[in-house]
Amino acid sequence: MATLSVCQPQLGGFSFENCKRNAVLEAEVTKLGCNIPSARKTGTTICGVVFKDGIVLGADTRATEGMIVADKNCSKIHYISPNIYCCGAGTAADTEMTTQIISSNLELHSLSTSRLPRVATANRMLKQMLFRYQGHIGAALVLGGVDCNGPHLYSIYPHGSTDKLPYVTMGSGSLAAMAVFEDRYKQDMEEEDAKRLVRDAIAAGIFNDLGSGSNIDLCVITKGRVDYLRPHDMANKKGVRLIRPVYAYKQGTTGVLTKSVIKLDLEVVEETVQTMDTS
């Protein structure tokens, strides 16, 4: 509600001025039978697994807006720091901004302590911020990285609770991916086995959940090395359009019975040259 005169200096951050107006507008629009546009979500499958030397994170690449696919190849594995990456599910803008803010804060923190940041620090920062906003920021994250204490994997829910586990899945396809993990996870896997397991889990999410689709992205983090494989596997490739027309029949499809050639005698009557204006 606008006041007639501004008495105090404005503060930054979230402003709730228009909430009442929005609520009234939404009620009006629903009475008329239309829908207000919905936020773009990443109905998703994301997962992570700890293997012998590090972490493998995996994600699909579909972003949905209600019932429509908004982005066929969006990137859901976000950079937090050179040794920490984070997959995000939920509202796309929320995961993007949250991971960027935490990445900036971690960079400032690591400059001030002059040490490589730890995964537990990123986890603590994320959970405190998400709890402060009581779940209104719809970001469900899988955070993984390798620091001085070894590989760590956390799952962070929108209301601010976290779990530290050897394998986690989040998103609308999390049940399908978790089924694959529960069946085939073993402690201290090799890197190739871990990559294959994550790829199969994301594929299970892609093929069994409407909100997930397109390609599979992987991110392998070990001590001193990060492999960002985008795309690792194109599970749903769009069909290629044929260049030559299929509607033309091959020569010889129809049998030839008779053939007669009539030559037309044409003589040149008049020849004129018209210059083109090529200026």
Partner 1 sequence: MNTRGLRSQLKDSVPVTGMGQQVGAYGVQDTLRSGFSSVKNELLPSHALELSEKNFQLNQDKMNFSNLRNIQGLHAPLKLQMEYRAARQIQRLPFLQSSHLALDTLKGNDESISFEDILNDPSQSEMVGEPHIMMEYKLGLM
Catalytically annotated residues: 44
Candidate list 69, 75, 96, 105; residue touching partner 1; CB under 8 A: 105
Candidate list 19, 34, 242, 264; residue touching partner 1; CB under 8 A: 19
Using rule CB under 8 A, residue 27 touches partner 1: no
x/- contact string, 127-166, with partner 1 (CB under 8 A)?
-xx--xxx-x------------------------------
CB of 26 to partner 1, least distance (A): 13
Using rule CB under 8 A, residue 13 touches partner 1: yes
**What φ, ψ does residue 203 adopt, rounded to 5°?**
-65, -40
22 or 73: whose CB is closer to partner 1?
Answer: 22
10 or 254: whose CB is closer to partner 1?
Answer: 10
CB of 161 to partner 1, least distance (A): 15
CB of 224 to partner 1, least distance (A): 27
H/E segment holding residue 95: helix 92-113
DSSP annotation of 173 reads T
Using rule CB under 8 A, residue 7 touches partner 1: yes
End-to-end CA distance of the chain: 64
Candidate list 30, 38, 73, 104; residue touching partner 1; CB under 8 A: 104
d(CA 168, CA 42): 17
R_g of the chain, CA atoms, integer Å: 29
Q: Which stretch binds partner 1 (CB under 8 A): 36-44, 99-107, 168-176, 242-250?
A: 99-107
Binding residue count for partner 1, defined by CB under 8 A: 32
The full DSSP string for 3-28 is -SS--S----S---TTHHHHHHHHHH
Axis crossing angle, helix 119-132 with helix 92-113, rounded to the nearest 10: 130
The full DSSP string for 222-254 is ETTEEEEEEEEE-SSPPPPPPSS-TTSPPTTSS
d(CA 175, CA 205): 8
CB of 112 to partner 1, least distance (A): 6
Using rule CB under 8 A, residue 258 touches partner 1: no
- Which among 183, 185, 197 has a CA at the least distance from the CA of 232? 197
Given the rule CB under 8 A, which residues bind partner 1?
Answer: 1-16, 19-20, 23, 97, 101, 104-105, 108-109, 112, 128-129, 132-134, 136
